[in-house]
């Protein structure tokens, strides 16, 4: 186990891009180590059927782990469960992570004295936008 102040964030991270790297860099500066949870492919397919994932869960985890700001990578199915399973002090979310699962996970964190930090997205880039650009090439 890594010691110090742990920072934790979650996401799909299908097409790794500069926005993800910026997120990991900014999140890592909030503590001593960064844990990133990658959502499992079957869950993404169930709740975001238009996502059309390019990479498997394992491939996405491998790519995220390769980013120098990331210390540990885990997979997850539900944000409500993973916040209870990982040891961390700060939960980093994006401004668009507002569905009921995130609301419940954020409240769980606050009830236990964990800090919740909302980091803005990197403007002009997203996996959906990137897929559209590639499709139109």
pLDDT in tens, 94-130: 998 989 999 999 999 999 999 999 999 988 888 888 8
The CA-based dihedral angle spanning residues 87, 88, 93, 99, taken in that order and rounded to the nearest 10 degrees: 40
User: Residue 9: its pLDDT value, please?
Assistant: 98
Nearest to 28 by CA among 53, 2, 49: 2
* Residues β-bridged to residue 92: 9, 117
Averaged pLDDT for residues 13-18: 92
User: Residue 131: its pLDDT value, please?
Assistant: 81
Averaged pLDDT for residues 50-78: 95
């Amino acid at each position: 186990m890594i010691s110090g102040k742990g920072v934790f964030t979650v996401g799909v991270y299908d097409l790794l891009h500069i926005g993800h790297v910026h997120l990991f860099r900014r999140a890592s500066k909030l503590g001593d180590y960064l844990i990133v949870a990658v959502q499992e492919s079957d869950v993404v397919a169930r709740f975001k059927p238009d996502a059309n994932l390019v990479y498997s869960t394992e491939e996405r985890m491998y790519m995220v782990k390769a980013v120098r700001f990331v210390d540990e990578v885990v997979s997850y199915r539900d944000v409500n469960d993973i916040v209870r399973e990982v040891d961390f002090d700060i939960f980093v979310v994006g401004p668009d992570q507002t569905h009921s699962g995130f609301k419940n996970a954020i409240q769980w964190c606050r009830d236990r004295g964990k800090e919740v930090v909302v980091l803005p997205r990197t403007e002009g880039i997203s996996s959906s936008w990137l897929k559209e650009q590639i499709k139109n090439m």
